[in-house]
Amino acid sequence: MKIYVNEKEMKFNERKTAFQIRDEIKPEGDIVILNGFIIKEDSKLEENDRLVLIKRGEKPNEDELEHLLVSRHTPGVHGKVKNAIVGIAGLGGLGSNIAISLARLGIGKLILVDFDVVEPSNLNRQQYFVKHIGMQKTRAIKDIISQINPYVEVETVNTYLDKSNIKEIFEGVDIVVEAFDNPKCKAELINTVLTECKDKYIVAASGMAGYFSNNIIKTRKIRDKFYLVGDGVSEAKPGCGLMAPRVSIAANHQANTVLRIILGEKEV
């Protein structure tokens, strides 16, 4: 039978169990992951099952790291994710969270665009650290991603996005993610992608300010290839600021919508 052990194809003359293979190949492995799920009890293996063996606390070498990063994926997901190219417009509360979630997924390539620097006020909801204050957001998020998943290809563009450069910058992407704070910039990006980049999907957000209910943040399919996340009403304004919990909820709605599009799940 053929089994993939730490993503390497192995053949066995007889049917094996997960723990039998663990005992033969990596007896010190105290974490056993079968088809993306950690198992505590032994299990019989089927043809083409995927088994990952990990020793708790052990630092893998570079060849092993990518396989271990994706070991929790549902089988068949990683190949599609690895081939995807996603562009993110804006690296603030939404964009920085989205970029990190997609990097943890093992996305093939990210094109990250922002013109701003990290400010102290950003730290209440954006995925930066004190050491990044004053650093370009493109440089800071690339640094963070390199520490999470160095196998993700990251291209950064430190510029202000407008109608004159949107099409050129995002020419090679499959999906554009809108992550701006400014309503006018949001509208310009969405309209440009829908009218001039008709082969691309766009995932946008509107309405995630304050500390209102989690459950009114929703993902809606507005039209073919256009998805909108948020509650649609809770804009940032005096007395209703942006904070980490709701911004992160909306950002991960966006990231999960990107994943669903990549996997061919086009409905919300």
Domain 78-262 grouped into CATH 3.30.70.890: no
Question: 31 pairs with which residues across the strands?
Answer: 54
- C-alpha distances in angstroms, 17 versus 2, 14, 45, 130, 203? 12, 10, 5, 48, 43
Instruction: Give the model's pLDDT for residue 58.
Output: 85
Instruction: Give the model's pLDDT for residue 220.
Output: 98
Instruction: Give the model's pLDDT for residue 1.
Output: 93
Residue 8: pLDDT band by 50, 70, 90 thresholds?
confident
Is the pLDDT at 69 greater than 90? The verdict is: no
Instruction: Give the model's pLDDT for residue 141.
Output: 98
Pick the CATH number of 2-72 from 3.10.20.30, 3.10.100.10, 3.40.50.720, 3.40.50.1580: 3.10.20.30
Instruction: Give the model's pLDDT for residue 61.
Output: 74
Instruction: Give the model's pLDDT for residue 247.
Output: 97
Instruction: Give the containing element (helix H, strand E) for 33.
Output: strand 31-34
CB atoms within 10 A of CB 91: 29
Is the pLDDT at 65 greater than 90? The verdict is: no
Q: Position of tokens 């053929």?
A: 2
Q: What is the mean pLDDT of the chain?
A: 94
Closest CA to 82 of 95, 69, 94: 69
Alpha carbon 169 to chain centroid, angstroms: 20
Sort 64 into a burial class: Cβ within 10 Å, 0-12 / 13-18 / 19+.
Answer: middle
Q: What is the mean pLDDT of residues 217-223?
A: 97
Q: What is the mean pLDDT of residues 45-49?
A: 94
Residue 31: pLDDT band by 50, 70, 90 thresholds?
very high
Look up residue 72 and give its amino acid.
Answer: R
Instruction: Give the model's pLDDT for residue 79.
Output: 86
DSSP state of 55: -
Is the pLDDT at 64 greater than 80? The verdict is: no
Beta strands in 136-239 (DSSP E): 153-157, 175-178, 201-205, 218-223, 226-230
Q: What is the mean pLDDT of residues 139-150?
A: 95
Instruction: Give the model's pLDDT for residue 32.
Output: 95
Residue 6: pLDDT band by 50, 70, 90 thresholds?
confident
CA distance 161 to 87: 12
Is the pLDDT at 246 greater than 90? The verdict is: yes
Residues carrying CATH 3.10.20.30, the chain: 2-72
